[in-house]
Chain A
Amino acid sequence: MSFALANTIGAVFAAPVRWLAASIDAPLRLWQRLTGKGGMIAFFLMPNIIVFGTFVIIPLFINFAYSVTGGNELFLTDRSFVGTQHFDRLLTCDNHFDPSSCRDDLFWTAVWNTARFVVVQVTTIAIVAMGTALILNSKIPARGFWRAVFFFPVLLSPVVVGLIWRWILQRQGLLNFVMIEMDLTPVNWLIERDWAFVAAVGVSVWAHVGFYALILLAGLQAIPRDLYEAAEMDGTRPARVFFRITLPLLWPNLLVVIVLALIRAVQIFDEVYVLTGGGPGTSTLYLTQYIYEIGFASILRNPGLASAASLMMGGVLIVLTLGQLGLQRWRDRA
């Protein structure tokens, strides 16, 4: 009875698909006859190309158009051509390592803040994700529960993450309350420059480490057990096992983690914006926030300058992506 019912339901759902397949069968056969294999490839890629073109390629060209036009107007037809004026403004510096010597000091402050954040955050995330994956791969009680616990923050919206940690870290937040209860001196975590940076990195690591740990965990589980058993029989020390077996075999996964974390770190915005607002001063002002502020949030916005900055940031991301591809090819050849 239930089998017949399932069949009936299946037939009901399959009917429209069959009808659709039948209706496009003849035109597709004609298309294949006319254009050959290449035409069919183009046909099946077309939906993706349309979506990618609409939401990535066309905006990229529009972005470029904004970057070479000036004024506060939003419509391109109302904007005047200014050539490389915005790029000149962004790049004019006596010393690029000293933002205060630059014409647009905030841009270079954001650039160096982002560079510092990327180095510290990616290193931290790689180490913490590796440690987490090793622990979650070992025989600990309630392993499934702990895996869920570490992955849970990944599911949260970055704004929620920022708000939660703001409530914890602000002057009268939960952490200072606990510290006062323990007779410790409270710290203004989000107002002291160094602590604000630590908070930005820490919260970002907390929010994303579960995802990267999962990638490494998959890699760990793919390492053949017999290698560990042989090492154990030889009486190899655990540290040697880690550096001679685990790390080399996990390297492809670790590379993916580092590159993905790197790209994401360059784009850092939402959780840190909610957490610190770029402060104290401009100590956690990162590139994406700079672009957002200039393009949208400042009292008199400058879409051209924001577009120029975002193109430059896009260039950095392209270099990073090409680096990832190069590394992958080098590894495949090796």
Chain B
Amino acid sequence: MKRTAYRLTIAAAMAAIMAASPALAEEVRIMWYSDGNEGEVMQDLLDRFMADNKDITVVLDNVSYQVVQEQLPISLAAGEGPDIARVTNLKAQAEHWLDLTPYVADPEYWRANFGGQADWMRPDGSDAITGFMTQLTVTGGFANKTLYEQAGVEIPGPDASWDEVVAAADQVAKSQGLIAAFALDRSGHRLSGPAVSFGANFIADDGMPAPVDDGVKAFVSRMVQWTEEGKNLKDVWVSAAGSTYRAAADDFINAQIPYYYSGSWQIANLATKIGNGFDWVATGSPCGGAACSGMAGGAGLLAVKYTKVPEAVGKVMDYLGSAEIVKEFSERTLFLPAHKGVVEAGNLDFQSDDPNVKAALSAFVAASGKIAPNASALSAWKWANAYYGALVTRTSQAMAGELTLDDAYARMNDDIAEQVKQAGQ
């Protein structure tokens, strides 16, 4: 009898442990990359979440941007991956995102505050809630103010053309003995804003990729010419094959180039690494014949549909998407928020003592108003990445002298057509 009671007690304890274990074992993994300090800020926010939600453990896996670009798509295609991921390639992977509608506390809150970018990250025609933008970004230029002053060259104003901006930067480079006048990140996204400024239209009437047009040719031919003349820093575009992404931030931070075309997400990185090394300013996007446009974009935090713990993912997303947390994250990372309520409240207090930072943020906010409709449409366009890949691969070959410009344009069209054909099989 005594032994039976003892066995029952053990069995009951085991059952209680078994029943409790799923709650204890709920682990949410986030794949995260950082341009600046956002990884540290996110970890701090998650620590607070875990302190209040003992039943959920959130693991922040910090990886390089290249891992997110190259390895995450393979995991997702295999039906694997993290529970949540921070990505920039939002639309092309839309089929892998989880519809959070049944898992978030108030779907209407999400639609009201993040609805503006919801189409960027869900399949065409869907009304799913898949995540939110951790920041909105705008591409644009940065100038090393100190170098311009030392060279006695005025930084071109907001309506200056690309030709004027590059000519001024070249004057500075020659005067100061620098290795090149400017650099633009090796990225199709970065190349596309200026191309749109020269009148490029990537999307045909039927929604499919349009052939490379005069707008694209106008900017690509300039980039190739500037590279041949040594004005564009060869190390960024020519130094790799394929569509590999390469940022030129370090060359700007090390004062090797007076002008750098990248985007608003670099503000925290520049502020942290340049410190008081030199003064710098954000200059928006130079003009082409048709516009003075950059590209809108940003990184989104997306729930992955292969998660085993969708309820826990919903809780984490509710926390990270709350107005209070979005506001704090933006203030500490110097990112432009995507939360409509936070933007409308307008009381953001960006946390930086660097006088360059607030001016840069204002410049990018102003630049966001100049984004051409053709450029805005690309963020929610399924084939944008096919276009970007072809642009990078073939433009860099033309810069390296391997292809004539005409051959490069023909190859871009072929590459895009192959990608469309491949995706349709």
A293 near B402: Cβ-Cβ < 8 Å = no
**B43 on the interface (CB 8 Å rule)?**
no
Among A72, A171, A298, the one with the most B-chain Cβ atoms within 10 Å of its Cβ is A298
Cβ of A72: which chain B residues have Cβ within 8 Å of it?
A: 77, 422-423
Residues 187-205 of A contacting B (Cβ, < 8 Å): 188, 190-191, 193
**Beyond A71-B425, A276-B240, A299-B386, 20 extra complex contacts between A and B, CB < 8 Å:** A71-B423, A72-B423, A106-B242, A172-B256, A190-B235, A190-B239, A191-B239, A277-B240, A277-B241, A278-B241, A278-B242, A279-B240, A280-B238, A282-B402, A284-B241, A297-B70, A297-B242, A299-B69, A299-B243, A300-B386
A281 near B400: Cβ-Cβ < 8 Å = yes
**B377 on the interface (CB 8 Å rule)?**
no
**A289 on the interface (CB 8 Å rule)?**
yes
By size class, the interface of chain B is 35 or more
Residues 53-104 of B contacting A (Cβ, < 8 Å): 69-71, 73-74, 77-79, 89, 92
A282 near B397: Cβ-Cβ < 8 Å = yes
Which DSSP category, helix, strand, loop or mixed, fits chain A's interface?
Answer: loop
A298 near B389: Cβ-Cβ < 8 Å = yes
Knowing A281-B397, A281-B402, A282-B397, say if A191 contacts B242 (CB, 8 Å).
no
Residues 273-297 of A contacting B (Cβ, < 8 Å): 276-285, 289, 293, 296-297
By size class, the interface of chain A is 35 or more
B238 near A281: Cβ-Cβ < 8 Å = yes
Task: Give Cα A172–Cα B401 distance, bound, in whole angstroms.
Answer: 23
Q: How far is the CB of B400 from the nearest CB of chain A, in Å?
A: 3
A191 near B235: Cβ-Cβ < 8 Å = yes
A300 near B425: Cβ-Cβ < 8 Å = no
How many A-B pairs fall under 8 Å by CB?
Answer: 114
**A105 on the interface (CB 8 Å rule)?**
yes
Cβ of B403: which chain A residues have Cβ within 8 Å of it?
A: 100
A105 near B239: Cβ-Cβ < 8 Å = no
Cβ of B73: which chain A residues have Cβ within 8 Å of it?
A: 301
Cβ of B246: which chain A residues have Cβ within 8 Å of it?
A: 277
**A11 on the interface (CB 8 Å rule)?**
no
Cβ of B216: which chain A residues have Cβ within 8 Å of it?
A: none
Among B74, B234, B240, the one with the most A-chain Cβ atoms within 10 Å of its Cβ is B240
**A35 on the interface (CB 8 Å rule)?**
no
Cβ of B399: which chain A residues have Cβ within 8 Å of it?
A: 281
B385 near A299: Cβ-Cβ < 8 Å = yes
Closest residue of chain B to A297 (Cβ to Cβ) is: B70
Task: Give Cα A276–Cα B244 distance, bound, in whole angstroms.
Answer: 12
Cβ of B79: which chain A residues have Cβ within 8 Å of it?
A: 75
**A54 on the interface (CB 8 Å rule)?**
no
**B350 on the interface (CB 8 Å rule)?**
no
Q: How far is the CB of B237 from the nearest CB of chain A, in Å?
A: 9
Residues 58-95 of A contacting B (Cβ, < 8 Å): 70-75, 79-80, 82
Q: How far is the CB of B97 from the nearest CB of chain A, in Å?
A: 16
**A302 on the interface (CB 8 Å rule)?**
yes
Residues 201-238 of B contacting A (Cβ, < 8 Å): 234-235, 238
B425 near A280: Cβ-Cβ < 8 Å = no
Q: List 22 A-B contacts (CB under 8 A).
A: A72-B422, A72-B423, A73-B77, A75-B78, A75-B79, A80-B425, A172-B256, A188-B234, A188-B235, A277-B239, A278-B241, A278-B244, A279-B238, A281-B397, A282-B241, A282-B400, A296-B74, A297-B243, A299-B188, A299-B386, A299-B389, A302-B422
